[in-house]
């Protein structure tokens, strides 16, 4: 946080306030990480406590109590320690040698052994739960830290992008007035990529309604750029003031298509996909394969995709979003249920595409010059807390296609030949309709195998063209 507090670096009071929020979250995160750590074994005090619990139950009315817990206490304690070590190695079925040894030293050997196993199991359960609590606390700490950095990044980006231009504001006000639109105020914003975003608070003149699409077009003519409405904007401006956001038009557009089939030709598939418009002129396409097949896998992958969609639409970077999702899945339940995540983020301004993978299959880029492959060896989300996420950025050209597939598609092909065969299927097609291309590729795989699918299979094709 040193860069935040340099004198004169940030003058905007809102940035300073948000930095204070971020500081508090980071401090809370550090506090979580400095609390009790993981425990691999029992401490001396915990073993002593087990010894007391066992002897209190077993030795209370025993005629040898004074001897075993008095002069011979060290040997009795050593016997307990040997049993605990043997249980840890062999489980409840102790080896014959340790049982014989106990019978020679204790006249209540069966009961002593039974109580020892019960106390040990309870203590071990507590140890596991304590470690689970530590793991959950670490997960929350990671989430808090990610959120704090997100606050810092977003406030700086907004503060750096907002600018004042009295001349442009006056020009825009007069221009819109000619079309029966009264402008109360405006905010000008330039993104990190140098694209304009203009927010205007306007209303239509009395007795009129103006389509917001026309407003965006007039703003574009005034500023000399192609402007369009932000996703989800209202369609009409009435006689009451409202704020409308216009963004600079993208240079590229995408079309996508999907083909899928369930395991054993079932209608329900455990694969789920996402296609959504994102802030900053980006298009998000994601594919998730839930563990197993059928309704359970579908429920799992759907939850993952919906969670990812919410985070991305809120403006979270894709890696941060996946890490937060993974933490939530790992700390949120006892059983391990994993899902793969395969994301392609298209920048419709620059034509670049970021590929982010967690346990996902190979992605193929169909270019005029051939087929390029992007592979990953990472684990799916929901398995371990410290997940590795791989990302690669590629520059695409107009007419290029991205083909994403789930494991079921690749596993249907012979091991060692999967990538080559898929590249052959893709390269051998001249289809330019993404939906038809996806169905063609899936058909080629099914024809090659000649069998009923042994897993859910999904092919997702996305084409990108220059406007």
pLDDT digits (tens, 9 = 90+) for 381-424: 877 777 888 889 999 999 999 999 998 899 888 888 899 999 99
Same domain, 134 and 47: yes
Confidence of residue 3 (pLDDT cuts 50, 70, 90): very low
Length, in residues, of the chain: 467
Is-contact 422 406, C-beta < 8 A? no
Mean local confidence (pLDDT), 96-102: 70
Same domain, 129 and 30: yes
Q: What percent of the chain has a predicted confidence (pLDDT) above 70?
A: 90
Task: Specify the higher pLDDT residue, 56 or 200.
Answer: 200
Same domain, 264 and 148: no
Confidence of residue 83 (pLDDT cuts 50, 70, 90): confident
d(CA 245, CA 240): 16
Same domain, 394 and 260: yes
What distances in angstroms separate CA 312 from CA 306, 340, 381, 407, 435, one per listed residue? 10, 17, 17, 24, 25
Q: Would you state the pLDDT for residue 166?
A: 85
> What CATH number does the domain containing 192 carry?
3.30.980
Same domain, 98 and 182: no
Same domain, 240 and 291: no
Same domain, 211 and 270: no
- 398: β partners: none
Same domain, 302 and 430: yes
d(CA 308, CA 326): 11
What distances in angstroms separate CA 7 from CA 1, 43, 158, 162, 382, one per listed residue? 13, 50, 20, 21, 43
> What CATH number does the domain containing 323 carry?
3.60.40.10
What is the rounded (10 degree) CA torsion for 179, 180, 183, 189?
-30
Domain edge (last residue) among 133, 160, 187: 160
Task: Specify the higher pLDDT residue, 79 or 344.
Answer: 344
Same domain, 240 and 137: no
Same domain, 268 and 223: no
Residue-range definition of the domain harbouring residue 171: 166-248
Q: Would you state the pLDDT for residue 80?
A: 76
Q: What percent of the chain has a predicted confidence (pLDDT) above 90?
A: 25
Q: Would you state the pLDDT for residue 130?
A: 76
Inform me whether the pLDDT recorded for 241 exceeds 50: yes
Same domain, 339 and 460: yes
Inform me whether the pLDDT recorded for 61 exceeds 90: no
Please tell me what DSSP assigns to residue 138: H
pTM of the model: 0.69
d(CA 21, CA 29): 12
Domain edge (last residue) among 196, 222, 248: 248
Q: How many domains does the chain have?
A: 3
Same domain, 48 and 125: yes
Domain edge (last residue) among 203, 222, 248: 248
């Amino acid at each position: 946080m040193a860069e935040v507090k340099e004198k004169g670096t940030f003058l905007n009071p809102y940035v300073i306030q948000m930095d204070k929020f971020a500081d508090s979250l980071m401090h809370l995160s550090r506090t979580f990480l400095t609390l009790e750590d993981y425990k691999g074994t029992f401490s001396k005090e915990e073993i002593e406590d087990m010894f007391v619990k066992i002897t209190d139950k077993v030795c209370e009315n025993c005629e040898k109590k004074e001897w075993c817990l008095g002069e011979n206490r060290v040997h009795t304690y050593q016997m307990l320690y040997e049993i605990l070590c043997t249980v840890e190695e062999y489980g409840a079925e102790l080896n014959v040698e340790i049982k014989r040894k106990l019978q020679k030293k204790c006249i209540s050997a069966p009961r002593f052994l039974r109580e020892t196993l019960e106390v040990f199991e309870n203590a071990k359960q507590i140890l596991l739960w304590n470690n689970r609590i530590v793991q959950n606390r670490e997960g929350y700490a990671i989430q808090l830290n990610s959120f704090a950095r997100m606050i810092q990044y977003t406030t700086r980006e907004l503060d750096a992008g907002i600018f004042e231009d009295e001349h442009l504001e006056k020009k825009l006000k007069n221009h819109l007035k000619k079309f029966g639109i009264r402008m109360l105020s405006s905010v000008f914003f330039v993104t990190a990529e140098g694209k304009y975003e203009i927010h205007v608070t306007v209303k239509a003149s009395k007795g009129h309604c103006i389509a917001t699409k026309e407003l965006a077009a007039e703003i574009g003519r005034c500023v000399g750029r192609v402007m369009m409405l932000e996703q989800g904007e209202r369609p009409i401006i009435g006689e009451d003031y409202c704020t409308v956001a216009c963004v600079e038009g993208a240079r590229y557009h995408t079309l996508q298509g999907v083909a899928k089939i369930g395991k054993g030709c079932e209608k329900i598939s455990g694969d789920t996909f996402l296609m959504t418009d994102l802030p900053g002129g980006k298009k998000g396409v994601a594919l998730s394969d839930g563990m197993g097949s059928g309704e359970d896998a579908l429920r799992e992958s759907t939850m993952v995709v919906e969670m990812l969609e919410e985070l991305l639409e809120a403006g979270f970077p894709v890696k941060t979003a996946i890490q937060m999702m993974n933490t939530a899945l790992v700390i949120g339940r006892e059983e391990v249920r994993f899902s793969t995540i395969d994301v392609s983020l298209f920048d419709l301004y620059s034509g670049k595409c970021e590929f982010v993978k967690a346990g996902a299959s190979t992605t193929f880029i169909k270019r005029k010059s051939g087929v390029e492959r992007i592979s990953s060896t990472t684990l799916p989300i929901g398995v371990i807390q410290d997940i590795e996420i791989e990302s690669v950025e590629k520059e695409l050209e107009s007419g290029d296609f991205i083909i994403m597939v789930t494991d079921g598609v690749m596993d249907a092909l012979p091991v060692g030949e999967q990538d080559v065969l898929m590249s052959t299927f893709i390269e051998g097609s001249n289809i330019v309709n993404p939906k038809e291309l996806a169905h063609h590729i899936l058909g080629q795989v099914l024809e090659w195998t000649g069998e009923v699918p042994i897993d859910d299979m999904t092919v997702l094709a996305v084409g990108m063209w220059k406007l």
